[in-house]
Structure 1
Amino acid sequence: MDNKTELLAKIQIWIADFGVKAISAFMLVLIGIQLARFLQTLVGNSLQKARIDATLGSFASNLVYIAVVAMTVIVAMGQLGVQTASFIAILGSIGVAIGLALQGSLSNFAAGILIIVLRPFKVGDYIECLNIGGTVTRIHPLNTTLITPDNRTIVAPNRKLFDDCLTNHSAQPHRRIDLVFGTGYENDIDRVKQIIWDVVERDRRILTEPKTLVGVLDWGSLGIRFAVRPWVQAADYEDVYFEIQEAVKKRFDEEGILVPCDLPRY
């Protein structure tokens, strides 16, 4: 009886002790979850006030929530007497293995975060990279979606966009159009320049500042080439580019300006 009584007493003590630890661990988890939610909201609101991209803000706030909950669970397991050192080591090993397996995705993710924070381009910008040009329609932490002028959808890895040279045609409000018109040597230079000036001055989309440049580019074996450099609003670039060439050709025809058919234009 004495042995049974002693064993029963030990069991009761162990149950009582474990019950206290279990309640403490449960309370820690509850407090940790509440703290995680509070920090998640705090980080999300702070990033929103700082005008950080919504995708990055959502990811960062969720990451804070997961990190706090994970730390709370580990602390609670320690409260129950679980050896957390080996558990953390196992998680670390798993993390390293996952990192090695997903190193390409992780590099794209890191580049995506930098793109969202540094903003070398934004949704709606027209960019060129890797011999591909298109309008940005979506920036994801792993890739960026472009729509080309001929309506193709391009999904580009963020690492490529961030590491390679990138041209953002929408970053500045104004763009310069580089045009070249050729004429034969029998034409008067001043007359040709005046015709080009007349066409440029009639187009109200062409800006007065910066000033348009019209000048002789070079002398070739077949004729003379004139460089024309008007400035326009970025949104008008394509329309003006094509319409100015058409207008100059029509004026050349009206004025009898001869253009050798084999004269290089570019």
Structure 2
Amino acid sequence: MNSSLSIRSFAEYVEQFTSLLIDYSPKLISALIILFVGLYAIRIINRLVRKIMIKRELDPTLSKFLADSLLWALRLLLFVSFISKLGIETSSFVAILGAAGLAIGLSLQGSLSNFAGGMLIILFKPFRVGDTIEAQGVIGTVLEIQIFVTKLITGNNQTIFVPNGILSNGVIINYSMQGNRRADLVFSLSYDTNIKTAKDIVMQVMQNHPKVLKNPAPTVAVKSLTDSAIILAINPWAKNADFGAMASDVLENCKEAFDAAGIVTQPYVRESSKA
């Protein structure tokens, strides 16, 4: 008796499920068609938008950000259309999304600050990809400006990720923006040195170096007179790409020229007379 009742109940469940599936299948099929066609259309639109921005020579960072934002906005609209076609009430779903967004926003305040900082960097462009900058105690070349962080590479090939929030609110030194850069070099010379001779030697070294720019012109001057040495300030200019090699060469060539002229380049300390 119980066995026949269980079989009958199971058959009724199967029949109800089959009937429900048949009734619901048109919605399911149409929703799946919308989903797959929408994903394909979004891919085509995204590619087309990227090509248009590249053709109009927009900033690469801004182009990537706009394309990614459009991609996720279209995906969200497609998802809402998909669940709406399935018969799910979108008003309640949007309310749930709003509540979840508020909770996530409160828990991710730091990330939202970094997002806002990334937007400011992309819009106002204090630096671009390829620029050498100094910020938050680090110096490096900008590899990529992402939404939440900026990726730098240092001179010793270390990759540094700086959060955009603190980066946009702090002091940024951009060494690449002006195209040329001045080196601030110093030499400590003995008080026995003829200052004019030393300055002529330094100027000759800078004028003979191919990477030292003629305009702006290099300069050399007495920076200070300490208790033990004459401090010369040497200021050659170079293009950003040549800056490091130029500064190193000028120091080396000046040292060799001073040695050849018999000028003491280390701080000269007079011995006190014995009583």
Bin of the TM-score, shorter chain as denominator length: 0.7 to 0.9
Measured in 2, the distance between the counterparts of 1:187 and 1:84 equals 86
State the Cα distance separating 1:97 from its structure 2 match: 1.0
- Which one of 163, 177, 191 corresponds to residue 185 of structure 1? 191
Q: Any idea what SS the aligned residue of 2:215 has?
A: coil
Q: Which runs of 5+ in 2 are unaligned?
A: 1-19, 270-275
- Aligned equivalent of 1:153: 159
**1:56-205 map, 5 Å:** 56-73=65-82, 76=85, 83-205=89-211
> Which residue identity lines up with residue 117 of structure 2 in the other structure?
A
> Which residue identity lines up with residue 236 of structure 1 in the other structure?
D
State the Cα distance separating 1:28 from its structure 2 match: 11
Measured in 2, the distance between the counterparts of 1:201 and 1:43 equals 51
- Aligned equivalent of 1:243: 249
Contact 1:44 1:60 (8 Å CA) reproduced: no
Measured in 2, the distance between the counterparts of 1:37 and 1:146 equals 31
> Which residue identity lines up with residue 58 of structure 1 in the other structure?
A
Q: Judging changes above 3 Å, is the alpha-carbon distance between structure 1 residues 27 and 223 closer, same or farther for their aligned structure 2 residues?
A: closer
Measured in 2, the distance between the counterparts of 1:67 and 1:98 equals 17
Q: Any idea what SS the aligned residue of 1:180 has?
A: strand
Count residues in correspondence: 243
Q: Judging changes above 3 Å, is the alpha-carbon distance between structure 1 residues 48 and 117 closer, same or farther for their aligned structure 2 residues?
A: farther
TM-score by length of 1: 0.76
- Aligned equivalent of 1:259: 265
Contact 2:119 2:147 (8 Å CA) reproduced: yes
- Which one of 55, 64, 80 corresponds to residue 55 of structure 1? 64
Q: Judging changes above 3 Å, is the alpha-carbon distance between structure 1 residues 97 and 145 closer, same or farther for their aligned structure 2 residues?
A: same
Q: Which runs of 5+ in 1 are unaligned?
A: 1-14
Measured in 1, the distance between the counterparts of 2:179 and 2:144 equals 21
The CA deviation string for residues 224-260 of structure 1, in whole angstroms up to 9 with x for no partner, is 2121111111111111111111111111111111334
State the Cα distance separating 1:199 from its structure 2 match: 0.9
Measured in 2, the distance between the counterparts of 1:67 and 1:45 equals 23
Measured in 1, the distance between the counterparts of 2:263 and 2:223 equals 18
State the Cα distance separating 1:141 from its structure 2 match: 1.8
- Aligned equivalent of 1:216: 222
Contact 2:49 2:67 (8 Å CA) reproduced: no
State the Cα distance separating 1:198 from its structure 2 match: 1.1
State the Cα distance separating 1:70 from its structure 2 match: 4.4
Q: Judging changes above 3 Å, is the alpha-carbon distance between structure 1 residues 84 and 61 closer, same or farther for their aligned structure 2 residues?
A: closer
Measured in 2, the distance between the counterparts of 1:52 and 1:69 equals 28
The CA deviation string for residues 19-51 of structure 1, in whole angstroms up to 9 with x for no partner, is 9x969x869957x94886776566545544441
State the Cα distance separating 1:197 from its structure 2 match: 1.0
Contact 1:36 1:64 (8 Å CA) reproduced: no
TM-score by length of 2: 0.74
After superposing the two structures, state which structure 1 stretch, 201-210 or 177-186, moved more: 177-186
